[in-house]
Structure 1
Amino acid sequence: MTAIADKTPMTLRRNRDFGLLWVGAGFSFLGSRVTALVYPMLVLWSSGSKTTAGLIGFTALLPQLLMQLPAGAYVDRFDRRRLMLVCELGCVLALGSLAIPVATGRLWMPHLFAVAFIEGSLLVFYQLAERSAVPHLVVAEQLGAAYSRNEARTRGAAMIGQPTGSGLFAVGNAIPLVFSVGAHLVSLVSLLGIRTRFQVERGTPPAAVRSEIADGLSWLWRQRFLRTVMLVLAGTNMLYQMLVFALLPLFRDEGRPKGLVGVVLACSAVGGLLGALTATKWMRVWSLRRILLVGTMVWAIVTPLLAAAHNVFAMGAVFAASGYVGGVFNVPAIVYVMRITPPTMQGRVSSVANLVSSGAMALGWVAAGLLLTTLTPRQGIAAIGAAMALMAVLAMLSPAIRGADGAAETEPLA
């Protein structure tokens, strides 16, 4: 394999290894987005149990809470490319084992829960390894553009995956699972073609896993601005997942075609895609702090509008606006983290950041399932909107965010 030091600067379009990683990860995320919506749909349309549907969504996202920290340590100590290959092979085997009983009408619920957890766990390892590999495939000056393209790719996968998942589910319950298996196979083949190493050699032997995890936690805790931003994002991510879940019983109770669920959610991906593509422009004029504060205010304004939206196009517009803000914010946030993090700690620090900001998404599914047992879907959406407004107020009043004075926080990143 080629060492990163041997590479000469080139445009991202001509960077063969980055292109292979970009395409392969795109197919991997596409497969995961297809199944993310299918898991609760399998439960909801077969048993009608909102609580069980919320639990399967929670199970699929539970690895975001349980696996982040150990995954970060292993991503920093093992060959990241080989680890990603194992993850893709594991997804193929797990999803393939589920497709057969679903197709024959012999689905066993513990099997469904186990596959959801396994796929979610493998995705955590894959995402951390892929994100940490990017700085070793491109030159430092191209990090902003590279992560912008990665965010656009991820949003594009969600844009295609959600309507694809619900559409294929309407044709046959097992078809989206077979589709996802094929997507992970494409990703596996793409990884096999990459020659560049995904990490630098560590000068000292790795310490115990617990010690390395503690180092990552300790380093992040000392970053006062970053840890506060992560807490704000944890709250907004949890509320967004509750909003996504609320759409399922809303469409079911109002007799809307189930395939339209994915279409509405795809609007969020479209907005996120546009946000990711324009993120570098915002990074040239606004600081990370301003992007965060304005973004939370926009979320607080648009989220309550969904409670009064009865037209599918209006619902899609709300999700598109919310997705745009998320797409704009994610790119500078990732660039900020990777720039201030030592290279040998990128996996661990990313895992801690993901644990705080994304781990709360798993709790969102459980909270939504409980909330909607006492409130109607539209009442629940109104309550979620009020909580989002509270998050915006807390962000504006936070001393760590208001008092940040470093150049990386208060000046444009690009």
Structure 2
Amino acid sequence: MSGRGLLRNGDYLKLLSGQTISALGSAMSTFVFTLLAMAITSSPVQAGLVGAAYALGATLSSLPAGAVVDRTSRRLILISCGLAGTVLYGSVAVAGWMHRLTIWHLLAVALCSGVSTAFFMPAETAALRQIVPAEDIGTAVAANQGRGYVAGLAGAPLGGLLFTVGRVVPVAIDALSYLVMSALLALIRRPLGAPETHDAKPEPMLRSIRSGITWLFAQPALRTIALVATALNFAANGTILVLILDLQQRGVRPSVIGLLETGMGVGGLLGAILTPKLLAMFSTGAIAIVGSWIVACTFTATAFTSAPATLIGLLSIAMLLLPALNSGLFGYQMLITPDHLQGRAQSAVMFLATSTQPLAPALGGVMLASFGHRTAVGVLGAILTVASLLLTLSRPIRSIPLLSEVKAATTV
């Protein structure tokens, strides 16, 4: 598996470039949205509702979105979502410049942006499968992972800097980034139409959603991947929140607390760089099992220390194999899923992984307040351990070979 083929793939480079530009813009606006909400309301509770609105829109829309993606032109969906982002975030910039921005406006934009993301992600996965040859899927997914970490590392500081220039400047730049992404997507030459099927008439929406979920859970490896992704996402997010709140209660400076996210970003970026070589050397099943145990052990170890430097080191180590784990498992899912089910398979996993996400901060906060840092992290660490055991004991997971050896599914 090599990235040389991807560098000669013009359509892939357009897709990656557009997403990278948009991801940086989104990282800036996501950071600034909380600041804008605080400036408007002076209420941390109301400011926190902005993120909740985004998550709600994404979660409620994910399953229907997957069904729509599997019966509609992927190109149309991708470009439409990009243009929707331009309109949504452009409206915030205009309202801010006119001094008419309200918390309700921010909530509406966050909700609609979550809905747009629910459509964009499965459409992007399906498009990537159509644009990139099977032997390069792992490298392409790893590049996407690296893009996200770079955007996360650079977006918040850059957004904060531009916020001092003008409150809605980062949001205006994000709106422009969506427009640039849409233009690049429109230049992709590869046909990205609706998947070809032998069905004369599409299934009704609810039946289509059910058939996608049924197919996913009938695949032993994919069923395990979906369940483990849900547990890992829930417990990891809860642990990070507990650590941040515990450090805050101990009087640690916010700038130092912020280094937790920086450490995770650096570890993830390094892991993304190593991912293509790891996927070429080790089986996807082995990477998934080892990677999950590293996450479980390092996150659980944070229960026994409150030293910021140690916590930063542990979280950095935790992230090193996570890009390879994600690239391997989701690359495998992408390869074995028929084209006409790509949207629904991706959306089902996304729904499971995000549906419990709002509960993680609540549970973490309650356990921290009731039992303390060590117990809270210990309980969440136990969930991570169970998830790792599920991967280890799963014969279908252990049997996943090198990603380059996985046979790609036929169209139908």
Structure 2 length as normaliser, TM-score?
0.84
Which residue matches 1:320?
316
The partner residue of 2:197 within 196, 202, 209 is 202
CA contact (8 A) 1:72 1:347 kept: yes
Q: Which amino acid aligns with 1:116?
A: A
Distance 1:113 1:255 in 2: 31
Which residue matches 2:6?
12
Which residue matches 2:219?
223
Distance 1:329 1:145 in 2: 12
- For 1:101-120, what aligned pairs fall within 5 Å after superposition? 101-102=95-96, 107-120=101-114
Q: Quick one: structure 1 residues 182 and 244, their matched pair in 2 at CA, closer, same or farther if it must change by over 3 Å?
A: farther
Distance 1:17 1:193 in 2: 8
Q: 1:360-380: per-residue Cα shift (whole Å, max 9, x none)?
A: 3343345456667x469xx45
Q: Quick one: structure 1 residues 357 and 170, their matched pair in 2 at CA, closer, same or farther if it must change by over 3 Å?
A: same
1:155 positional shift: 2.3
Which residue matches 1:185?
179
CA contact (8 A) 1:54 1:369 kept: no
Indicate whether 1:363 and 2:345 are aligned.
Answer: no
Q: Quick one: structure 1 residues 139 and 16, their matched pair in 2 at CA, closer, same or farther if it must change by over 3 Å?
A: same
Q: Quick one: structure 1 residues 240 and 396, their matched pair in 2 at CA, closer, same or farther if it must change by over 3 Å?
A: closer
Which residue matches 1:391?
383
Which residue matches 2:407?
none
- For 1:21-40, what aligned pairs fall within 5 Å after superposition? 21-40=15-34
The partner residue of 2:125 within 126, 131, 134 is 131
Which residue matches 2:410?
none
Q: Quick one: structure 1 residues 167 and 150, their matched pair in 2 at CA, closer, same or farther if it must change by over 3 Å?
A: same
Distance 2:97 2:253 in 1: 22
Q: Which amino acid aligns with 1:295?
A: G
Q: 1:251-272: per-residue Cα shift (whole Å, max 9, x none)?
A: 8767777677665424323222
Distance 2:386 2:161 in 1: 39
1:178 positional shift: 1.9
5+ unaligned residues in a row in structure 1: which ranges? 1-9
5+ unaligned residues in a row in structure 2: which ranges? 405-412
Distance 1:257 1:43 in 2: 23
Distance 1:255 1:105 in 2: 36
Indicate whether 1:56 and 2:47 are aligned.
Answer: no
Q: Quick one: structure 1 residues 258 and 166, their matched pair in 2 at CA, closer, same or farther if it must change by over 3 Å?
A: farther
Q: 1:220-270: per-residue Cα shift (whole Å, max 9, x none)?
A: 111233222322221221233335555776787677776776654243232
SS at match of 1:203: coil
Q: Which amino acid aligns with 2:196?
A: E
1:22 positional shift: 0.8
Q: Quick one: structure 1 residues 210 and 23, their matched pair in 2 at CA, closer, same or farther if it must change by over 3 Å?
A: same
SS at match of 2:188: coil
Which residue matches 1:290?
286
CA contact (8 A) 2:239 2:380 kept: no
Structure 1 length as normaliser, TM-score?
0.84
Q: 1:175-208: per-residue Cα shift (whole Å, max 9, x none)?
A: 3212211221221121121111125433324222
- For 1:15-414, what aligned pairs fall within 5 Å after superposition? 15-43=9-37, 49-102=43-96, 107-169=101-163, 172-199=166-193, 200-205=195-200, 206-245=202-241, 264-304=260-300, 308-311=305-308, 314-367=310-363, 374=369, 379=372, 382-398=374-390, 401-405=392-396, 409-414=399-404
Distance 1:325 1:261 in 2: 23
Q: Which moved more, 1:241-250 or 1:230-239?
A: 241-250
Distance 1:86 1:209 in 2: 21
Q: How many residues align?
A: 399
Distance 2:340 2:237 in 1: 32
SS at match of 1:67: helix
Q: Which amino acid aligns with 1:147?
A: V
Q: Which amino acid aligns with 1:183?
A: S
Q: 1:278-306: per-residue Cα shift (whole Å, max 9, x none)?
A: 22333344444433332233223333555
1:48 positional shift: 6.3
Q: Quick one: structure 1 residues 344 and 62, their matched pair in 2 at CA, closer, same or farther if it must change by over 3 Å?
A: same
Identity score, percent: 28
SS at match of 2:269: helix
Q: Which amino acid aligns with 1:194?
A: I
CA RMSD across the alignment: 3.2
SS at match of 1:77: coil
CA contact (8 A) 1:271 1:323 kept: yes
Q: 1:100-140: per-residue Cα shift (whole Å, max 9, x none)?
A: 44456654222221111111211221121111111211222
Q: Quick one: structure 1 residues 135 and 212, their matched pair in 2 at CA, closer, same or farther if it must change by over 3 Å?
A: same
CA contact (8 A) 2:57 2:113 kept: no
Distance 2:277 2:256 in 1: 33
1:49 positional shift: 4.7
CA contact (8 A) 1:248 1:261 kept: yes
1:16 positional shift: 0.9
